């Protein structure tokens, strides 16, 4: 074990290079580095990787690690507690790198962070399991002195690395079925073992990050709502449509309450809400959105892994990959035509249609035809599960899912 002030780091840390590269330019800078994401996606291990890197860059650096899930730190409950603890334990000389895990458990943590920023010999890093960790109010209070990096479940490339697998159809099937929570590398990849583990992770997220945090009373409705979203991945819905459906199932809940509960699920990173975007008018629609799961293994553990869901599962995987690659993603609307995904990054757009297979002429005409209707010259492609090695369709490429995930 590697020893550093008050923490021993595991020796089997698997690097996640994409995230390290994003944070490297900010190491040592007077900016708070905030890592958000669903529980168990590896935020803590990312902190450990940063500690390792900092030790390599500066062997004499002071490192202080505070884990709010550790009973040793239960006395740190408020901003004043955090501020006092850090100042009492930081190095007497040189810079101290402060790592705080699950900082949202500390009341008014932003006040402590703002105060600690005044010390030039302190460099701050923290994690949280709530999408509102840097809400507008908190971000404003920190005066733009914080950057947020969202950590996602493993990408397919990372999954292969973690499980020491080659890129094969069998490996892709495991990824599609079990998802990319990092701890799975310690488990046998069988349905009974993996789905039992994932169901327990789901329960932790729901009870700790939603029910307890927001004092939820209607727990049965919340659970039914999650199942509804699991069965309707990638379907276009509004809160009213969901409310109307639930009424047909004898569950009477108002649309505004549906919207509130969905936002709780989004805040906990259990699902992602994707808005619709008018490609011609360049505006976002206020109503009607789609929902995708952050981790498909959790979704399958709740709903089952069913052949009839294959198309929407592939769509979810493509969406997650775009997020991992740093794209801002919306559903495209072009008149009465829908484009599955419009990804935007560094001022460039990317239009993507997703289809399970292209074996039928009408599917080919629909998927490629929708993309042809877009008048601009940004990159367009159709992603399918099946392989195709040949010409483009009037300049639009067909990419199989494995190639798309390892581009």
Q: What pLDDT sits at residue 239?
A: 87
Q: What pLDDT sits at residue 12?
A: 81
**Does the pLDDT of residue 25 top 60, yes or no?**
yes
Domain ranges within the chain, ordered by starting residue = 2-150, 306-407
Query: Sorting pLDDT into bands at 50, 70 and 90, what band is 407?
Result: confident
Query: Sorting pLDDT into bands at 50, 70 and 90, what band is 390?
Result: confident
Do residues 132 and 269 lie in contact, with contact meaning Cβ atoms separated by under 8 Å? no
Residue 281: partners with Cβ closer than 8 Å, 6 or more residues away:
none
Q: What pLDDT sits at residue 3?
A: 37
- Report helix, strand or coil for 27: coil
Q: Does domain 306-407 have CATH number 3.40.190.10?
A: no
Top pLDDT among 360 and 157 is at 157
Residue 324 region by backbone torsions, left for phi larger than 0, else alpha for psi between -120 and 50, else beta? alpha
For 326-345, give the DSSP string. Answer: T-EEEEEEETTEEEEEEEEE
Mean pLDDT of 251-277: 94
The answer to whether the predicted template modeling score (pTM) of the entire model surpasses 0.85 is yes
Mean pLDDT of 261-286: 95
Average pLDDT, the chain: 93
Fold that domain 2-150 belongs to in CATH: Rossmann fold (3.40.50)
Q: Residues of the chain with pLDDT > 90: what percent?
A: 82
For 151-182, give the DSSP string. Answer: --SPPHHHHHHHHT--S-HHHHHHHHHH---G
**Does the pLDDT of residue 5 top 60, yes or no?**
no
Q: What pLDDT sits at residue 4?
A: 46
Top pLDDT among 249 and 158 is at 158
């Amino acid at each position: 074990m590697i020893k550093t002030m008050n923490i021993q780091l595991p020796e089997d840390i698997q690097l996640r290079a994409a995230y390290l590269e994003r944070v490297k330019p900010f190491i040592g800078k007077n900016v708070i580095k905030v890592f958000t994401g669903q529980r168990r996606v590896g935020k803590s291990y990312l902190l450990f990787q940063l500690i390792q890197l900092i030790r390599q860059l500066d062997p004499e650096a002071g490192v202080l690690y505070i884990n709010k899930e550790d009973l040793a730190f239960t006395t740190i409950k408020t901003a004043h507690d955090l501020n006092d603890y850090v100042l009492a334990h930081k190095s007497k000389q040189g810079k101290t790198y402060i790592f705080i895990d699950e900082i949202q458990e500390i009341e008014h943590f932003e006040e402590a962070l703002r105060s600690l920023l005044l010390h030039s010999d302190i460099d701050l890093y923290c994690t949280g399991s709530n999408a509102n960790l840097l809400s507008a109010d908190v971000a404003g209070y920190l005066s733009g002195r914080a950057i947020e990096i969202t950590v996602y479940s493993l990408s397919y490339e990372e999954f292969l690395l973690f499980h020491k697998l080659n890129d094969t159809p069998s490996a892709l099937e495991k990824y599609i079925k079990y998802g990319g929570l990092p701890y799975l590398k310690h488990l046998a990849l069988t349905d009974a073992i993996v789905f039992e583990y994932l169901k327990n992770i789901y329960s932790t997220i729901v009870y700790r990050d939603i029910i307890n945090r927001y004092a939820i009373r209607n727990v049965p409705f919340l659970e039914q709502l999650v199942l509804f979203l699991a069965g309707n991945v990638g379907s276009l819905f509004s809160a009213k449509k969901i409310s109307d459906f639930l009424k047909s199932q004898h569950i009477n809940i108002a649309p505004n309450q549906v919207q509130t509960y969905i936002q709780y699920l989004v805040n906990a990173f259990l699902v992602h809400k994707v808005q619709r975007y008018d490609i011609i008018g360049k505006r976002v629609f206020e109503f009607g959105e789609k929902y995708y799961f952050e981790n498909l293994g959790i979704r399958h553990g709740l709903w089952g892994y069913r052949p009839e869901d294959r198309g929407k599962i592939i769509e979810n995987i493509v969406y997650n990959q775009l997020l991992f690659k740093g794209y801002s993603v919306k559903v495209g609307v072009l008149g009465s035509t829908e484009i599955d995904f419009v990804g935007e990054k560094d001022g460039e757009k990317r239009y993507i249609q997703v289809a399970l297979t292209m074996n039928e002429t009408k599917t080919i005409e629909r998927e490629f035809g929708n993309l042809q209707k877009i008048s601009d010259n940004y990159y367009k492609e159709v992603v399918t599960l099946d392989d195709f090695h040949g010409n483009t369709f009037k300049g639009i490429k067909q990419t199989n899912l494995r190639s798309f995930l390892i581009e």
